[in-house]
Amino acid sequence: MNINRRIYEAGNCRNSKRGSLIVEAAISLPIFVLAVLTLILIIRLIGCAENVMYYFAEEAGRVGKEAYVASRLAETAEIDPIAPVAGSGLPQMVLQQRLRGCLEKNEAVHIEHLRVDQFIYLFPGVCLDGLITGRLTYDIELPLPASFNRRTYFGERLLWRGFIGRTGSPSPLPYSKMEENQSAHPVYVFPKAGERFHASGCRVIAVDPVERILNTEIRRSYAPCRLCQAQQAADGGIVYCFAKGRSYHRGSCFLVKRYVVEMEKCDAEARGYTPCSFCQ
């Protein structure tokens, strides 16, 4: 009787352990499969975003090379042809159409609502002219059930320089001058309008934001603007900061109506800017 009882108890113990393993497997296996599928989806999204940015940079380079024609015409013609070309939006439409065709040909992932906006063609920047900038936005459709959000929004901004047939500095600094300690004289100008350069405390630019390159220091010193979702801006992109503000803004923010850029006084004078009559 004791032997039969022990055999019966041992059989019940094995059955209970086997049952607990089945229950644990039934609970953990779907979670594991879901985690693996999520990881695969994230890797696919990252790879697709990198490919789109690669094609964006390639087509932007082509637009930059073609800017040489417009710049040469501007030097030889009495009427500046760059303004009507930039105002017509032709380079922006060409870039957008080329990018769509390249993605349809080479990218297997379905991309929708691809658009190039905030496009500025051949504008002067800090110590450089002929700059081009634009933002690319698009959606990637995800292979998910209908009850889930099947689209993911992406946005990237690119800043590059068009090939205009000349360097940024026509007279390179000699090596002897590089070893000399010279004090900087930064001034501020309106790149889109204005003929004057201003000091940092000038009342003319007191209410206007300054163009900055987004980096770790900017993120640490300023908070992202919630109105324009500035937290989505990538490092190296263009943002705008007010002198007395606490946030950095994207170019699409309605608070940024006009902005100023910082450059050396000698560069401003070389570009034809004259001193401000208020701050001298």
Burial 12-46 (b: 16+ CB within 10 A, else e): eeeeeeeeeeeeeeeeeeeeeeeeeeeeeeeeeee
- Are 252 and 232 spatial neighbours (Cβ–Cβ below 8 Å)? no
- E strand segments, 35-150: 111-123, 131-141
- Are 134 and 116 spatial neighbours (Cβ–Cβ below 8 Å)? yes
Residues 6+ apart with CB under 8 A from 181: none
- What is the greatest pairwise CA distance in the chain? 116
Residues 6+ apart with CB under 8 A from 2: none
Residues 6+ apart with CB under 8 A from 132: 60, 63, 64, 67, 91, 119, 120, 121, 122, 123, 159, 160, 161, 162
Q: Are strands 131-141 and 151-161 parallel, antiparallel or unpaired?
A: antiparallel
264 backbone dihedrals φ, ψ, rounded to 5°: -70, 150
Residues 6+ apart with CB under 8 A from 124: 130, 131, 191, 271
> In this structure, what token pair is assigned to residue 15?
């059955």
- Are 163 and 65 spatial neighbours (Cβ–Cβ below 8 Å)? yes
- Listed as ranges, residues in the chain with pLDDT below 70 are 1-19, 21, 70-89, 107-109, 126-127, 143-150, 165-184, 192-194, 203-205, 280
pTM over 0.85: no
Number of neighbours of residue 149 by Cβ within 10 angstroms? 7
Look at residue 13 in the predicted model and tell me its pLDDT. Answer: 53
Integer Cα distance of 262 and 160 in angstroms: 18
Q: Are strands 247-249 and 238-241 parallel, antiparallel or unpaired?
A: antiparallel
Residue that is written with structure tokens 């503000």 in the block: 245
Look at residue 258 in the predicted model and tell me its pLDDT. Answer: 76
Look at residue 136 in the predicted model and tell me its pLDDT. Answer: 92
